[in-house]
Structure 1
Amino acid sequence: MITQYLRLTPAEADQLRRLLAEAPDEAYEFVDRDEDQARGMDTDKAWAGLEFLLAKLGPPVNVISGGTAVTDDEWGYDSPRLLGPDEVAEASRFLDGTPFARLAELYDPAELTAAEVYPMMWDEDWALEYLGGVHTALVTFFHDAAAASDSVLLWLN
């Protein structure tokens, strides 16, 4: 399971809403185009660990499982959700101000394991570095999306 993200311009967000209403089967194809890979990213399996650590800091926007559902249909494991430009900007400010060193201070492999945080690899010697790499990519992704006033579509796949 991974969390996937895609930046959407206002026109693209409108087109996605239109497709979801008129041709739901085409909506997923619309966001899964090869040329959009530069505007997307995924967290690999780090999503739950990052969500667990970020929650300890009380983020203003949940960048892992937040947003407003755009359909009841599931794209993988849940319905896709949209963070609007204002939420993206707020999330970006929080992430920009939260260096990974702050999250690393909160990292306790035994706590994540006891809480059964997916994917149950937290006692591996590489786990913290793995989270750090995904955190860096997520910060950059949200920073770039906010700078462009994009929305962000996310879903668990």
Structure 2
Amino acid sequence: KIHGRDVVLSEKVMFCILVVPTLWMAYGVLLSTCTDLDNSAVALVVMSMPAFSYLGVVAAEAGVADWKKDLRPYVMRLFPSAWRRLAALPKLRSELVRDLRAFVAEIGPSLEWGLYEDKEVDWKRVQKETRSKSIRLLSK
């Protein structure tokens, strides 16, 4: 609300409500003047434009327009440089797992409320203690 994004979006919607039908009419004029289609074919094309616009919006929302993003990994596998990077990923993953486990082993025992050693943790108690500590720190 502070940035007025809803107003900007409303302006964009109003712009599209005006411009898109105008564009359809321009396409109709171009079809009737620049092609040898008869008037009934031009009328059919112009009348079907709203349906195709709606289908385009639905397809874009469903992710059909993102097919390029879906194909990119398969295309990248065709290049040898990508093979080398993909071959290095398992080693990198195992290093990250090792580093994360070492971090948890180092930091874990220092955690309060028995989060590291206890089999089951009373989360309500932990939240209550954390809240009371936060209130005490804020009131200082």
TM, length-normalised to structure 1:
0.24
Q: Please identify which structure carries the higher strand content.
A: 1
Greater relative contact order structure (CA < 8 Å, 6+ sep): 1
Q: Whose radius of gyration is greater, 1 or 2? A: 2
